[in-house]
Amino acid sequence: MPALDQALRAALDARENLLSELHTQGTDCYRLFHGTQEGSPGLTVDRYGPQLLVQSFHEPLEHDALLALTKQIRERLGLPLLLVYNDRSNSHSRIDRNPELHQAEAAALEDLIGQEWGLNYRVRGRHAGQDPLLFLDLRNARGWVKANAAGKTVLNLFAYTCGVGLCAAAGDAREVVNLDFAEGNLAVGRENAALNSTLPTMQFIQSDYFPAIRQFADLPISSRRGQKLPSYPRLQPRQFDLVFLDPPAWAKSAFGTVDLLRDYQSLLKPAVLATAEDGTLVCSNNLAKVDIDDWRTQVLRCAEKIGRPVRDCQMLAPAADFPSLDSKPPLKTLILRF
Ligand SMILES: C[S@@+](CC[C@H](N)C(=O)[O-])C[C@H]1O[C@@H](n2cnc3c(N)ncnc32)[C@H](O)[C@@H]1O
């Protein structure tokens, strides 16, 4: 597929400076090809340390094209990267483990280690979940946390594998609390902590977002239509100096619905109230169809309405390995200072 060959060559050319910058800062996890914006919609190619992760979201990649792409990258980077190919073009983007598409060598599927901002992260080509264990477009936000967490108490919401918490700990935070309802994700967070054993210890809370954040914010926990709620960990009301809110696009639980399109306020309001008076809230919205200007207006209005007007609002964009032709990257991050 010469068109893909050419598109990949252009993508690698465009990243030359970025890659040497990333290598210098201790990062070997990054996107090498962002298909939607670089000429092959639905195809992504990422480096995770020693691993090359190719993912297709619209249609499977032909075997020859996969091998040609791998060869070109190995030659350009001068590294024998271990190939894992995950076809996610089936419905619900489940990973197709069909060995006819590509049979990864055993070494590629072992537990590996990648680096970002000088920190170690667990890399696993195949695991119980669908997504890689580190979301690469959030790298700049993690870097911001590392540079701005010193002396602070930090609450990492929807923590997933706790990359944000790890950066806070590496940035000399006074206390780091990671919160997620999925024990499997927090378990990888614990592995990540163990891979960086010189860092101060972090806390991990396995809980649904809604009861946890509402307790921190000292708000009541209500059930829908009087239904009995599942049990949840009891937490004391408190505020944090730095709160990081990076939710999924949509998720439903017995306690409420995460819906970044229709109802960001339900997530934001308690998170603002759990942020200290002169603290900082970093919040994100990864839905491409949400416009940054509309969302920013909504966020600022919500804070104002609950009596916590934002003193300063800064936008943080993903790095150049996630190019966006219209300057409207799906992942939008706001740093709100109160
Ligand atoms: C897209 S990931 C968030 C990415 C993460 N902030 C990071 O730094 O990589 C979504 C996470 O939200 C968690 N999650 C989804 N709904 C939740 C809820 N209602 N309460 C707590 N965690 C939830 C999932 O378990 C998953 O770890």
Amino acid 100: pLDDT: 74
Tell whether the model's pLDDT for residue 145 goes beyond 90: yes
User: Average pLDDT in the 267-282 region?
Assistant: 98
Residues 148 and 296 in one domain: yes
Total of domains in the chain:
2
71 shares a domain with 210: no
User: Does the beta carbon of 160 lie inside 6 Å of ligand 1?
Assistant: yes
Q: Pick the closest to residue 121 from 168, 163, 176, 164 (CA basis).
A: 163
Q: Whose CA is nearest to atom 25 of ligand 1?
A: 182
- CB-neighbour burial class of residue 167 (10 A; exposed 0-12, middle 13-18, buried 19+): buried
Determine which helix (DSSP H) or strand (DSSP E) holds 332, and give its type and residue range.
strand 332-337
What is the per-residue DSSP string for 257-272?
Answer: EEETTTBSHHHHHHHH
Ligand 1: distance of its center to the CA of 183 in Å? 11
Residue 92 maps to a domain: yes
* Domain containing residue 222: 136-337
Q: 2 pLDDT band (50/70/90 cuts)?
A: confident
CA distance 19 to 27: 9
**Amino acid in the structure at residue 27:** T
Q: Is 164 in the pocket of ligand 1 (CB under 6 A)?
A: yes
> For 192-211, how does the pLDDT look when each residue is reduced to its tens digit (9 = 90+)?
999 999 999 999 999 999 99
**Contact at 8 Å (CB) between 195 and 169?**
no
Q: Any idea which residue has 């992760």 for tokens? A: 53
Does pLDDT of 94 surpass 90? no
One domain for residues 166 and 273: yes
Q: Whose CA is nearest to atom 26 of ligand 1?
A: 160
Q: Which atom of ligand 1 is nearest to the CA of 286?
A: 1
Q: Is the CB of 116 under 6 A from ligand 1?
A: no
Nearest to 216 by CA among 271, 150, 278, 165: 271
Residue 75 domain-assigned?
yes
- Ligand 1 close to Cβ of residue 254 (< 6 A): no
Distance 259 CA to ligand 1 centre (A): 12
126 in a domain, yes or no? no
pLDDT at 93: 58
What's the start-to-end Cα distance of the chain, in Å?
Answer: 52
Tokens of 270: 């308690």
- Whether 49 is covered by a domain: the verdict is yes
Which segment of 114-128, 214-228, 303-317 scores lowest on mean pLDDT?
214-228
Q: Is the distance from the beta carbon of residue 232 to the nearest atom of ligand 1 less than 6 Å?
A: no
Residue 178's φ and ψ, nearest 5 degrees, are -105, 135
Q: At residue 157, does pLDDT exceed 60?
A: yes
With a 6 Å cutoff on the Cβ, whether 166 touches ligand 1 is no
In the predicted model, is pLDDT for residue 161 greater than 60?
yes
Average pLDDT value for residue range 216-220: 97
Residue 1 has pLDDT above 60, yes or no: no
Q: Residue 331 C-alpha to ligand 1 middle, in angstroms?
A: 15
Residue 141 CB–ligand 1 contact under 6 Å? no
pLDDT digits (tens, 9 = 90+) for 12-43: 999 999 999 999 999 999 999 999 999 999 99
In a domain, 119, yes or no: no
194 lies in the same domain as 241: yes
* CB of residue 185 inside a 6 A radius of ligand 1: yes
Q: Where are the alpha helices (DSSP H) in the chain?
A: 2-14, 16-24, 35-38, 63-77, 139-148, 163-170, 183-194, 209-216, 265-273, 292-305
Q: Do 104 and 188 fall within a single domain? A: no
Whether 46 and 32 have beta carbons less than 8 Å apart is answered as: yes
How many whole angstroms from 180 Cα to the centroid of ligand 1?
Answer: 6
How far apart are the CA of 248 and the centre of ligand 1, in A? 6
- In this prediction, residue 188 has a pLDDT band, given cuts at 50, 70 and 90, of very high
